[in-house]
Amino acid sequence: MVFYRKYRPQTIEELDSKEIREKLYNALKSPEVFHAFLFTGPKGLGKTSAARIVAKVLNCEKKTKGIEPCNKCGQCVSIANGTNLDILEIDGASNRGIDEIRDLREKIKLSPMSARKKIYIIDEVHMLTTEAFNALLKTLEEPPSHVVFILCTTEPHKVPGTILSRCLHLQFKKATEDELVRSFERIIKKEKLAGEKDALRLIANLSDGSFRDGVKILEEMALITKDKKITKELVQKNYSIAGIQYKIAQMIRSLEEKDAKSGLKVVAKLASEGVEVGHFMQGLIEALHNSLLFKIGVEFVPGNSALAIDNSKLEISEIKKLIELLSTAKSELKYAVLPQIPLELVIVEWGILPSKEAGPAELHPRPTSSVASLLWLKIGGKGI
Ligand SMILES: [Zn+2]
């Protein structure tokens, strides 16, 4: 995780999300400083990194580029390495009582030691007790001019409306493919590597909107590439996307034929190759989901790396049933004695379910070969 730490965003410009960048620029460039920010969104999307950047923007001693922090002065450096005594990071889960908040209110009155602004970053703020929230609200109603709060939470619905209404709310979302590619390009450039756009897109797809996961893959690729070049082929080879997609196609074929034996063979192969069954099931469900949307007439979402099957032999009702069975099986995965068992049971159950009787749909011509019915529409953005 060297890259992740090394390339954690240090300026507003380096944050993934365009929306967050714009909101922060607007909020921080005005001379009237907000006294409270609320950062919401799932874990791992950079809320804490953004909070530290705000702390630096408000305290940097040598701003050179507009409002961006210099990352060199005493304030910036001590904030980045967590030693600045005026920047207090508080975990809401372990400081949730009224006594802690009262204590905090007392200390808030004191002026900062060296910084311009005292910054209180309260993580998991939704964990505070009602009494603690009430005490916090009193502070937010009349905050001393030297104090700025940054409240972070994964569960904004648990934060009282009276608190919400006093904060500038920034919602952190999963990064889009373009946003992740932008961040990867920043790293590639600094590491003096070359990266194919398609390779970066594929990594973005694999990391499902998480900068942290994406950077981890990027780092692995940087370590194994021999010529400082990250190609799509390299990523595919090492993440055996093509291999997994092929097995998903095989599995769908066996489900179409209700051929439990060949389905179970695919599972055995997965197990012997050490492919994570949960990952495979996720891909299978996504492929069926795409197929379902396609059959209903919803356009295929570009950038979706899942396999698209535009005319599988399965009926809409069958796809629906399979998605239900597989979703349940996937949720049971963590309790399974062997990871392949839930998937195997779906295959067996599906194999013994009575076939649909020939309905009106059967009158329409269908592909004779199920192999022909598989279309590799999208793998990592483009055809293989
Ligand atoms: Zn600075």
In angstroms, the CA 163 to CA 279 distance is: 40
Length of the chain, in residues = 384
For position 360, what pLDDT does the model report? 39
- Residue 32 Cα to ligand 1 midpoint, Å, equals 20
For position 340, what pLDDT does the model report? 92
In angstroms, the CA 326 to CA 292 distance is: 14
- Residue 5 Cα to ligand 1 midpoint, Å, equals 19
- Residue 73 Cα to ligand 1 midpoint, Å, equals 4
For position 301, what pLDDT does the model report? 56
In angstroms, the CA 125 to CA 291 distance is: 41
- Residue 56 Cα to ligand 1 midpoint, Å, equals 7
Are 237 and 227 contacting, i.e. CB atoms less than 8 angstroms apart? no
- Residue 86 Cα to ligand 1 midpoint, Å, equals 15
For position 356, what pLDDT does the model report? 56
pLDDT tens, N- to C-terminus, the chain (384 residues): 688 888 999 999 999 889 999 999 999 988 777 899 999 998 878 899 999 999 999 999 998 778 999 999 999 999 999 999 999 999 988 888 888 888 888 888 899 999 999 999 999 999 998 888 888 898 899 889 999 999 999 999 999 999 999 999 999 988 888 999 999 999 999 999 999 999 999 888 777 678 888 898 899 999 999 888 999 889 888 876 666 877 888 899 899 989 999 999 999 888 776 778 898 999 899 989 988 888 888 865 544 445 555 557 889 999 999 999 999 999 998 889 999 999 999 999 998 877 654 333 333 333 333 332 333 333 333 332
For position 310, what pLDDT does the model report? 53
Q: Which residues contact 269 (CB under 8 A, 6 or more apart)?
A: 247
- Residue 181 Cα to ligand 1 midpoint, Å, equals 28
- Residue 329 Cα to ligand 1 midpoint, Å, equals 52
In angstroms, the CA 178 to CA 180 distance is: 5
- Residue 215 Cα to ligand 1 midpoint, Å, equals 26
- Residue 77 Cα to ligand 1 midpoint, Å, equals 7
119 backbone dihedrals φ, ψ, rounded to 5°? -115, 125
For position 21, what pLDDT does the model report? 95
The three-point CA angle 168-174-180 to 5° equals 115
- Residue 49 Cα to ligand 1 midpoint, Å, equals 16
For residue 103, the cross-strand partners are none
For position 52, what pLDDT does the model report? 96
Give me the residues near ligand 1 (ion), CB cutoff below 5 Å.
60, 69-70, 73, 76
Which helix (DSSP H) or strand (DSSP E) does residue 121 occupy?
Answer: strand 118-123
In angstroms, the CA 193 to CA 195 distance is: 7
ipTM here: 0.99
- Residue 108 Cα to ligand 1 midpoint, Å, equals 23
In angstroms, the CA 323 to CA 341 distance is: 17
Residue of 29, 58, 35 whose CA lies nearest to 145: 35
Domains and CATH numbers, the chain: 10-171 (3.40.50.300), 177-239 (1.10.8.60), 241-363 (1.20.272.10)
The three-point CA angle 296-298-299 to 5° equals 140
- Residue 45 Cα to ligand 1 midpoint, Å, equals 24
- Residue 52 Cα to ligand 1 midpoint, Å, equals 12
Are 59 and 115 contacting, i.e. CB atoms less than 8 angstroms apart? yes
Are 269 and 235 contacting, i.e. CB atoms less than 8 angstroms apart? no
Residue of 215, 201, 217 whose CA lies nearest to 6: 215
- Residue 12 Cα to ligand 1 midpoint, Å, equals 13
3-state secondary structure of 371: coil
Residue of 35, 84, 36 whose CA lies nearest to 61: 84
The three-point CA angle 247-251-256 to 5° equals 150
Q: What is the pLDDT of residues 325-373, one digit of tens each?
A: 999 999 998 889 999 999 999 999 998 877 654 333 333 333 333 332 3
Are 98 and 70 contacting, i.e. CB atoms less than 8 angstroms apart? no
Q: Which amino acid is at 325?
A: L
In angstroms, the CA 78 to CA 186 distance is: 24
Joined together, the tokens standing for residue 36 give 């409270």
Provide the CA 296 distance to its chain's centre, in angstroms. 28
How many CA atoms are closer than 13 Å to the CA of 353, on its beta-carbon side?
17
Instruction: Quickly list H helices, 91-196.
Output: 98-108, 130-141, 161-164, 177-190
